[in-house]
Amino acid sequence: MSPVYLVLFPSLFFHPKTGQTSPEEMFQESLKKLRRDQQEAERLKGVIREKRTSWKNQMEPERHRIQTEFNQLRRILDREEQRELKKLEEEERKGLSIIEKAEGELIHQSQSLTELISDLERRCQGSTVDLLQDVNNVTKRSEFWTLRKPQALPTKLKSVFRAPDLKRMLRVFRELTDVQSYWVDVTLNPHTANLNLILSKNRRQVRFVGAKLSEPSRLEEHYNCSVLGSQHFSSGKYYWEVDVTKKTAWILGVCSNSGEPTFSFNQYPHQQNAYSRFQPQSGFWVIGLQHKHEYRAYEDSSTSLLLSMTVPPRRVGVFLDYEAGTVSFYNVTNHGLPIYTFSKYYFPTALCPYFNPCSCAVPMTLRRPSS
């Protein structure tokens, strides 16, 4: 058996009197270090538990957001499907109506023709007296009989369905989703409301209750039907939505802080000059509806800009980017398709939301952000 040699290092065993460290003190130091490491390990375990909880907590809102946005996209596609089917049903109804009308006329002619043929056959088979009886009338009926052929019948669909541009729809949807992240809870300022208007208790709805105007489409008469929002914006980005369902006239957007007229409409006898009242040069960035189906943007020109709207908006989104100098409008009813943008303007003063129900008694309603 080989001998075992124990090697001792004097520097590890120091004692104040003897100049060497005892084994007990050495072990105590090692134990302190190990306990410190143990405490650090427990602390790190707690940190990891917190990180796990925090990580899991981030997942649920994101999962909900993903599900919500895809559900919105499905609803958009569902609405598009229903819209296309409704268009097809309408075309089918019109086509069938034309066909049924032609069929009815042809049946009526066939009955008259059958009666005439029967009359002639009866006369031919009868006596000479029967044949000659009222012969002139029968002859005229036969000679002047003309079969009226049906008018052009529908043979092909006027428009063949084409799948929507999903990339474009997604782009529009993302843009609307982005601006909606700046949604603010706008309310109406009762101190700025005209006497012809009534506001709801929650200050989210305005209704015209004045006398019916003789020409409600005249722009200058609409000035006295406005109310401003309570909020004032001098920086930042803001979004809000207005419900204009069933309204035949309205004007909305933003205006300079005061909202006071810079001149009287009486100075402008012609309606086209009255457009300047609602233009940016007068402190208004607005769009509106007139004559039930004319959508206009009131730009800096002699007349307003007529807008093309394939789907009449029931909900209009307004987005203000103060620093960028832009005011954008969105047709939320048509999946957030942009309506018009006033761009690259310098706003000299604070802006506030502008609402004008015009002389239409149907209310304008501000939607809550959560809706």
Within this chain, do residues 192 and 77 fall inside the same structural domain, yes or no? no
Whether residue 204 lies inside any domain: the answer is yes
Helix (H) / strand (E) element for 238: namely strand 237-243
Position 262: which residue type? T
DSSP classification of residue 203 = S
CATH (domain of 257): 2.60.120.920
Boundary residue ending a domain (94, 118, 142): 118
**Sorting pLDDT into bands at 50, 70 and 90, what band is 267?**
very low
Calpha distance 367→6 (Å, rounded): 88
Within this chain, do residues 235 and 339 fall inside the same structural domain, yes or no? yes
What are the CA-CA distances from residue 111 to residues 105, 108, 116, 117, 140 (Å)?
A: 10, 5, 9, 10, 18
Q: How many domains does the chain have?
A: 2
**How many other C-beta atoms are found inside a 10 Å radius of the C-beta of residue 297?**
21
**pLDDT tens figures, 330-370:** 999 988 999 999 998 989 899 999 999 988 899 999 999 96
Whether residue 11 lies inside any domain: the answer is no
Q: Give the 3-state secondary structure of residue 106.
A: helix
Whether residue 249 lies inside any domain: the answer is yes
pLDDT at 13 > cutoff 50: no
- Name the phi and psi angles at 28, rounded to 5: -65, -40
Position 112: which residue type? S
Whether residue 68 lies inside any domain: the answer is yes
| Percent of the chain scoring above 90 in pLDDT | 34
According to DSSP, the β-strands at 284-290 and 250-256 are antiparallel
Calpha distance 253→352 (Å, rounded): 9
**Structure-block tokens of residue 310:** 């394939």
Whether residue 99 lies inside any domain: the answer is yes
Boundary residue ending a domain (118, 145, 170): 118
215: CB partners within 8 A, 6+ apart: 221
What local confidence, expressed as pLDDT, does residue 2 receive? 56
**Sorting pLDDT into bands at 50, 70 and 90, what band is 152?**
confident
Within this chain, do residues 223 and 74 fall inside the same structural domain, yes or no? no
What local confidence, expressed as pLDDT, does residue 214 receive? 52
What local confidence, expressed as pLDDT, does residue 27 receive? 82
Poorest-pLDDT segment among 94-98, 284-288, 300-304: 300-304
What local confidence, expressed as pLDDT, does residue 309 receive? 87
Whether residue 39 lies inside any domain: the answer is yes
Whether residue 128 lies inside any domain: the answer is no
**Structure-block tokens of residue 39:** 């405490």
Q: Average pLDDT in the 116-127 region?
A: 74
Average pLDDT, the chain: 81
Identify which has the larger pLDDT, 157 or 304.
157
Domain extent at residue 83: 23-118
Q: What is the pTM of this model?
A: 0.63
